[in-house]
A and B are shown apart, each in its own frame.
Chain A
Amino acid sequence: MAKAAAKTKAAGASASVERRPALAGRAVSAPGVKVEILPPAERISLRAPEASVPALSKALGVTLPATPKSSAAKGGRTALWLGPEEWLIIDETGNDPLADCAKISALHSAVGISHRNVAISVAGPAAAVTVNSGCPQDLSLEAFPVGAASRTILGKSEIVLLRTAADAFRVECWRSFSDYIFTLLSEAASDAAN
């Protein structure tokens, strides 16, 4: 795993050791699609009953979506519906959603998973075909529109898939699967434009 490319300092800590994200800086370009590792982000796994949703939405600054296979985004923070009473919150601005939830007394469970996941961008006209090399879902814009989000399968690993644009996806997987997922997407990318 190449780690020398991007070493970042832990946000907010003064004398902290360096952070070495998995596969940092890795990218592969193929005709029609680029696959690249995205920078670290803040993430929580949020669980809450319906009654707590308004309070949590307010605290997080983004309305928690109630519709299956959907997401909502605001100000660099995205809430992905993963299942009933379950959301993945991703913050790309460095603000900690865990701290925001800690202020709320409404019933919920918030667990920090910033380091658990690695995000990979798959972008370009052949992005959907690339993801479909291992993901059995229908990724047409009708079935999986921009903003659609789903936990699913890519090859032999579980992923969370978010469509960020008509021709772009964010693939989230667990840290130790990132090498497999990135390699599979890279190999698939070279075939995707054909």
Chain B
Amino acid sequence: MLLIRCPYCEEERPELEFRNAGEAHIARPTNIAAESDDDFEKFFFIRSNPKGVIYERWRHIHGCARFFNAVRDTVTDKFVMTYKAGEPKPAKLPGASK
């Protein structure tokens, strides 16, 4: 069981308290009804599914109940860092050489 740092609770908490909520930084279009088919497809259906670093949303559902963002490595399953919902993608990842 992983330990995940909740940016709102400001500490690491057991994975059992969390739930994954899919890829992060995919904003719902403000005028969604006017989206073209292609744009709606990109927004709703297409995900990056990378091997390596992924930006995703998690919810501390059995804790503070907040959604937040996390950077996780899909190869090692290690969390690189977490940050609050609404904050931009971190410019630099801790410990990243590239």
A positions within 8 Å CB-CB of B: 68-69, 82-84, 86, 136-137, 150-153, 158
Contact = CB atoms under 8 A, between A and B. Distances in A.
Contacts of A82: 64-65
B66 A84 contact: yes
Given A69-B11, A83-B8, A137-B14, A152 B64 contact: no
Does more than half of chain A's interface fall in helix, strand or loop, or is it mixed?
strand
Contacts of A150: 9, 63
22 contacts: A68-B9, A68-B10, A68-B64, A69-B11, A82-B64, A82-B65, A83-B64, A83-B65, A83-B66, A84-B8, A84-B64, A84-B66, A136-B1, A136-B16, A137-B14, A151-B62, A151-B63, A151-B64, A152-B13, A152-B62, A152-B63, A158-B62
Interface of B: 1, 8-11, 13-14, 16-17, 60, 62-66
Contacts of B17: 136, 152-153
A42 B13 CA distance: 29
Nearest to A158: B62
Given A86-B64, A151-B62, A151-B63, A68 B1 contact: no
Does more than half of chain B's interface fall in helix, strand or loop, or is it mixed?
loop
Given A83-B63, A84-B64, 13 more contacts: A68-B8, A68-B9, A68-B10, A68-B11, A82-B65, A86-B64, A136-B1, A136-B16, A136-B17, A150-B9, A150-B63, A152-B63, A158-B62
Contacts of A86: 64-65
B10 to A, nearest CB: 5
A152 B13 CA distance: 9
A137 B3 CA distance: 10
Contacts of B62: 151-153, 158
Contacts of A69: 9, 11
A82 to B, nearest CB: 7
Contacts of A158: 62
Nearest to B65: A83
A136 B14 contact: yes
Contact of A151 (B1, B14, B65): B65
Contacts of B66: 83-84
A150 B16 CA distance: 14
